[in-house]
Amino acid sequence: MKQEPAAQNSPPASPPSSQPLSEDDDPQTLWIFGYGSLVWRPDFAYSDSRVGFVRGYSRRFWQGDTFHRGSDKMPGRVVTLLEDHEGCTWGVAYQVQGEQVSEALKYLNVREAVLGGYDTKEVTFYPQDTPDQPLKALAYVATPQNPGYLGPAPEEAIATQILACRGFSGHNLEYLLRLADFMQLCGPQAQDEHLAAIVDAVGTMLPCFCPTEQALALV
Protein backbone atom coordinates (compact mmCIF):
# COMPACT_ATOMS: atom_id res chain seq x y z
CA MET A 1 0.00 0.00 0.00
CA LYS A 2 3.00 2.31 0.51
CA GLN A 3 4.43 4.35 -2.33
CA GLU A 4 6.84 7.23 -2.81
CA PRO A 5 5.25 10.59 -1.93
CA ALA A 6 2.07 10.50 -3.95
CA ALA A 7 0.87 13.82 -2.61
CA GLN A 8 3.85 15.65 -4.08
CA ASN A 9 3.39 14.03 -7.51
CA SER A 10 -0.34 14.62 -7.70
CA PRO A 11 -1.84 17.15 -10.13
CA PRO A 12 -2.78 20.64 -8.94
CA ALA A 13 -6.04 20.75 -7.08
CA SER A 14 -9.18 21.92 -8.78
CA PRO A 15 -11.79 23.57 -6.54
CA PRO A 16 -14.10 20.85 -5.18
CA SER A 17 -17.73 21.07 -6.14
CA SER A 18 -20.26 21.81 -3.43
CA GLN A 19 -23.06 19.94 -5.22
CA PRO A 20 -24.05 16.97 -3.02
CA LEU A 21 -25.19 13.65 -4.35
CA SER A 22 -28.38 12.22 -2.93
CA GLU A 23 -30.08 8.87 -2.77
CA ASP A 24 -32.64 10.14 -5.28
CA ASP A 25 -29.92 10.59 -7.94
CA ASP A 26 -29.47 6.79 -7.94
CA PRO A 27 -26.19 6.78 -9.90
CA GLN A 28 -24.94 3.44 -11.20
CA THR A 29 -21.55 4.03 -9.55
CA LEU A 30 -20.60 6.25 -6.63
CA TRP A 31 -17.38 6.78 -4.69
CA ILE A 32 -17.64 7.63 -0.99
CA PHE A 33 -14.66 9.24 0.76
CA GLY A 34 -14.03 8.30 4.38
CA TYR A 35 -11.52 10.16 6.53
CA GLY A 36 -12.66 9.23 10.06
CA SER A 37 -14.13 5.96 11.30
CA LEU A 38 -15.04 4.99 7.73
CA VAL A 39 -11.37 4.23 7.03
CA TRP A 40 -11.53 1.15 9.27
CA ARG A 41 -15.28 0.47 9.66
CA PRO A 42 -17.38 1.34 6.61
CA ASP A 43 -20.14 -1.17 7.52
CA PHE A 44 -21.72 -1.08 4.07
CA ALA A 45 -21.21 -3.27 1.01
CA TYR A 46 -18.80 -1.90 -1.61
CA SER A 47 -17.14 -3.12 -4.81
CA ASP A 48 -13.72 -1.51 -4.52
CA SER A 49 -11.70 0.66 -2.15
CA ARG A 50 -8.65 2.86 -2.62
CA VAL A 51 -6.39 4.72 -0.23
CA GLY A 52 -5.67 8.29 -1.25
CA PHE A 53 -6.24 11.94 -0.44
CA VAL A 54 -8.28 15.05 -1.13
CA ARG A 55 -6.79 18.51 -1.47
CA GLY A 56 -8.16 21.76 -0.12
CA TYR A 57 -9.22 20.32 3.24
CA SER A 58 -7.61 19.65 6.62
CA ARG A 59 -8.92 17.12 9.15
CA ARG A 60 -9.87 18.50 12.57
CA PHE A 61 -11.32 17.03 15.78
CA TRP A 62 -13.87 19.81 15.92
CA GLN A 63 -17.16 17.89 15.79
CA GLY A 64 -18.94 16.78 18.94
CA ASP A 65 -20.35 13.26 19.14
CA THR A 66 -23.11 12.36 21.60
CA PHE A 67 -23.82 8.87 20.25
CA HIS A 68 -20.92 6.91 18.74
CA ARG A 69 -18.04 8.19 20.91
CA GLY A 70 -19.70 10.24 23.62
CA SER A 71 -22.95 11.07 25.36
CA ASP A 72 -25.25 14.04 25.83
CA LYS A 73 -23.52 14.91 29.10
CA MET A 74 -20.01 14.22 27.80
CA PRO A 75 -19.72 14.69 24.01
CA GLY A 76 -16.76 13.00 22.38
CA ARG A 77 -14.55 14.56 19.73
CA VAL A 78 -14.57 13.23 16.16
CA VAL A 79 -13.21 14.61 12.92
CA THR A 80 -14.61 16.81 10.21
CA LEU A 81 -13.07 18.54 7.20
CA LEU A 82 -12.05 22.19 7.33
CA GLU A 83 -11.67 24.05 4.05
CA ASP A 84 -7.98 24.86 3.76
CA HIS A 85 -6.33 25.92 0.50
CA GLU A 86 -3.04 24.31 1.55
CA GLY A 87 -4.63 21.27 3.20
CA CYS A 88 -4.41 17.62 2.21
CA THR A 89 -6.42 14.89 3.96
CA TRP A 90 -5.78 11.17 3.55
CA GLY A 91 -8.50 8.55 3.73
CA VAL A 92 -10.22 5.74 1.84
CA ALA A 93 -12.62 5.99 -1.10
CA TYR A 94 -15.19 3.20 -1.45
CA GLN A 95 -16.87 2.38 -4.74
CA VAL A 96 -20.52 1.34 -4.53
CA GLN A 97 -22.44 0.12 -7.55
CA GLY A 98 -26.01 -0.75 -8.47
CA GLU A 99 -28.09 -1.67 -5.44
CA GLN A 100 -25.11 -0.94 -3.18
CA VAL A 101 -25.56 2.78 -3.86
CA SER A 102 -28.99 3.22 -2.31
CA GLU A 103 -28.19 0.86 0.57
CA ALA A 104 -24.94 2.68 1.39
CA LEU A 105 -26.58 6.11 1.23
CA LYS A 106 -29.48 4.96 3.38
CA TYR A 107 -27.09 3.60 6.02
CA LEU A 108 -24.77 6.61 5.97
CA ASN A 109 -27.67 9.03 6.18
CA VAL A 110 -28.42 7.59 9.63
CA ARG A 111 -24.82 7.09 10.76
CA GLU A 112 -23.37 10.38 9.54
CA ALA A 113 -26.26 12.80 9.02
CA VAL A 114 -28.97 11.90 11.55
CA LEU A 115 -26.71 10.73 14.39
CA GLY A 116 -23.57 12.67 13.46
CA GLY A 117 -24.83 16.02 12.13
CA TYR A 118 -22.86 15.79 8.89
CA ASP A 119 -23.77 17.25 5.49
CA THR A 120 -22.69 15.89 2.10
CA LYS A 121 -20.18 17.48 -0.23
CA GLU A 122 -18.54 16.38 -3.46
CA VAL A 123 -14.74 16.28 -3.37
CA THR A 124 -11.94 15.34 -5.76
CA PHE A 125 -10.16 12.20 -4.57
CA TYR A 126 -6.64 11.28 -5.70
CA PRO A 127 -5.87 7.53 -5.36
CA GLN A 128 -2.46 6.81 -3.84
CA ASP A 129 -1.45 4.48 -6.65
CA THR A 130 -2.83 6.59 -9.53
CA PRO A 131 -2.94 10.25 -8.42
CA ASP A 132 -3.08 11.31 -12.08
CA GLN A 133 -6.53 9.71 -12.33
CA PRO A 134 -8.66 11.62 -9.79
CA LEU A 135 -12.21 10.61 -8.92
CA LYS A 136 -15.28 12.53 -7.80
CA ALA A 137 -16.40 11.29 -4.40
CA LEU A 138 -19.06 12.01 -1.81
CA ALA A 139 -17.80 13.15 1.60
CA TYR A 140 -19.66 13.78 4.85
CA VAL A 141 -18.61 17.08 6.42
CA ALA A 142 -19.76 18.64 9.71
CA THR A 143 -20.07 22.41 9.43
CA PRO A 144 -20.32 25.03 12.20
CA GLN A 145 -24.06 25.28 11.48
CA ASN A 146 -24.89 21.89 13.03
CA PRO A 147 -25.76 21.77 16.77
CA GLY A 148 -23.03 19.26 17.60
CA TYR A 149 -20.18 21.39 16.29
CA LEU A 150 -17.59 22.14 19.00
CA GLY A 151 -15.00 24.04 17.00
CA PRO A 152 -11.32 24.61 17.71
CA ALA A 153 -9.59 23.99 21.02
CA PRO A 154 -5.99 23.41 22.14
CA GLU A 155 -4.77 19.89 21.34
CA GLU A 156 -4.28 19.23 25.07
CA ALA A 157 -7.92 20.11 25.78
CA ILE A 158 -9.10 17.88 22.93
CA ALA A 159 -6.94 15.04 24.26
CA THR A 160 -8.44 15.41 27.73
CA GLN A 161 -11.95 15.27 26.30
CA ILE A 162 -11.12 12.20 24.21
CA LEU A 163 -9.74 10.38 27.24
CA ALA A 164 -12.92 11.03 29.21
CA CYS A 165 -15.56 10.01 26.66
CA ARG A 166 -17.22 6.81 25.52
CA GLY A 167 -20.25 6.11 23.31
CA PHE A 168 -22.21 3.24 21.78
CA SER A 169 -19.41 2.48 19.30
CA GLY A 170 -16.69 2.43 21.93
CA HIS A 171 -14.22 4.70 23.69
CA ASN A 172 -13.24 7.97 22.06
CA LEU A 173 -9.59 6.98 22.52
CA GLU A 174 -10.08 3.95 20.26
CA TYR A 175 -11.32 6.27 17.52
CA LEU A 176 -8.20 8.45 17.83
CA LEU A 177 -5.73 5.56 17.85
CA ARG A 178 -7.34 3.69 14.95
CA LEU A 179 -7.15 6.84 12.86
CA ALA A 180 -3.49 7.30 13.83
CA ASP A 181 -2.77 3.67 12.87
CA PHE A 182 -4.33 4.22 9.46
CA MET A 183 -2.14 7.27 8.83
CA GLN A 184 0.99 5.27 9.63
CA LEU A 185 0.00 2.68 7.04
CA CYS A 186 -0.24 5.39 4.38
CA GLY A 187 3.44 6.20 4.72
CA PRO A 188 5.54 9.24 5.57
CA GLN A 189 3.89 11.41 2.90
CA ALA A 190 0.60 11.30 4.81
CA GLN A 191 1.10 14.12 7.29
CA ASP A 192 -1.51 15.26 9.82
CA GLU A 193 0.07 17.53 12.42
CA HIS A 194 -3.23 18.12 14.24
CA LEU A 195 -3.81 14.39 14.70
CA ALA A 196 -0.20 13.76 15.72
CA ALA A 197 -0.30 16.53 18.33
CA ILE A 198 -3.43 15.06 19.94
CA VAL A 199 -1.89 11.57 19.98
CA ASP A 200 1.24 13.00 21.67
CA ALA A 201 -0.89 14.82 24.24
CA VAL A 202 -2.85 11.64 24.98
CA GLY A 203 0.37 9.70 25.42
CA THR A 204 1.52 12.21 28.02
CA MET A 205 -1.78 12.31 29.90
CA LEU A 206 -2.87 8.65 29.77
CA PRO A 207 -0.80 7.41 32.76
CA CYS A 208 -2.39 10.11 34.89
CA PHE A 209 -5.90 9.03 33.94
CA CYS A 210 -5.60 5.32 34.70
CA PRO A 211 -3.10 2.52 35.38
CA THR A 212 -1.46 0.76 32.43
CA GLU A 213 -3.83 -2.23 32.55
CA GLN A 214 -6.91 0.00 32.41
CA ALA A 215 -5.37 2.10 29.63
CA LEU A 216 -4.83 -1.00 27.48
CA ALA A 217 -8.42 -2.07 28.10
CA LEU A 218 -9.67 1.18 26.58
CA VAL A 219 -8.23 0.25 23.20
Return the pLDDT at 210. 59
Q: What's the total number of domains in the chain?
A: 1
pLDDT digits over 118-174, tens only?
999 999 999 999 999 999 999 999 999 999 999 999 999 999 999 999 999 999 999
Return the pLDDT at 139. 98
Residue 172 domain-assigned? yes
Return the pLDDT at 109. 95
Q: Is the dihedral of CA 24, 29, 32, 38 positive or negative?
A: positive
β-bridge partners, 31: 95
31 touches 138 (CB < 8 A): yes
Residue 216 domain-assigned? no
Q: What burial class does residue 91 get, using C-beta atoms within 10 Å of its C-beta: 0-12 exposed, 13-18 middle, 19+ buried? A: buried
Return the pLDDT at 28. 87
β-bridge partners, 64: 77
Residue 23 domain-assigned? no
Return the pLDDT at 2. 35
State the CATH number of the domain containing residue 109.
Answer: 3.10.490.10
Residue 20 domain-assigned? no
Please report which helix (H) or strand (E) contains residue 64, including its range. strand 48-65
Q: Which residues span the domain enclosing 118?
A: 29-207
Residue 5 domain-assigned? no
Residue 149 domain-assigned? yes
Number of CB atoms found within 10 A of residue 72's CB:
7
Residue 93 domain-assigned? yes
Residue 214 domain-assigned? no
Q: Along the chain (219 residues), what's the average pLDDT of each consecutive run of 10 residues?
A: 37 38 58 98 98 98 97 97 97 97 96 93 97 98 95 97 96 97 94 97 83 49
Return the pLDDT at 7. 39
Q: Which of 23, 103, 112, 122 is catalytic?
A: 112
Give the Cα separation of 213 and 75 in Å (integer).
25
Query: What's this model's pTM, rounded to 2 decimal places?
Result: 0.83
Is 122 catalytic? The answer is: no
